[in-house]
């Protein structure tokens, strides 16, 4: 959750139905532009592949290299989009974080 730095104690009110809301999202570090896709049904390989294609289309005009950092959710490693990811490697790279790395977590 992003909160402006001047807000010291953010309050997040939840809808009383207790339904979840899910988003795929990516942030461009250069200027903070946020690309997202709301997912109302389920997170799976199909919906993630749709988001990857949308993200690729949005970034292909810049001519700059894109690196997407992912955790190890099962749908990130799906064989459904493995060939597509390998084909898009020159300008659109997907990198996976290590499964457990306490040296990357300053709290531990």
Counted domains in the chain = 1
Query: Which class for 42: exposed (0-12), middle (13-18), buried (19 or more C-beta within 10 A)?
Result: exposed
Task: Identify the pLDDT of residue 107.
Answer: 62
pLDDT given at position 87: 83
Mean pLDDT by runs of 10 across the 108 residues of the chain is: 74 68 83 85 86 86 82 84 81 82 64
pLDDT at position 6 is 79
The pLDDT, as a whole number, for residue 19 is: 66
Q: Give the pLDDT confidence score for residue 18 in this predicted structure.
A: 62
pLDDT of residue 77: 83
Dihedral sign for Cα atoms in the order 69, 47, 38, 36:
positive
Give me the pLDDT at residue 94, please.
Answer: 85
Question: Does residue 67 lie within any of the structural domains?
Answer: yes
**55: in domain:** yes
Structural domain boundaries, residue 86: 22-99
Query: Does residue 31 fall inside a structural domain?
Result: yes
């Amino acid at each position: 959750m992003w909160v402006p730095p001047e807000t010291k104690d953010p309050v997040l009110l939840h809808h009383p139905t207790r339904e979840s809301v899910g988003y795929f999202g990516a942030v461009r570090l250069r200027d903070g532009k946020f690309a997202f896709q709301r997912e109302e049904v389920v997170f799976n390989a199909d919906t993630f592949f749709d988001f990857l294609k949308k993200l690729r289309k949005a970034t292909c005009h810049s001519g700059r290299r894109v690196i997407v950092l992912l955790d190890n959710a099962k749908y990130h490693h799906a064989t459904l989009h493995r060939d597509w990811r390998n084909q898009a490697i020159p300008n659109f790279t997907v990198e996976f974080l290590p499964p457990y790395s306490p040296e990357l977590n300053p709290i531990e």
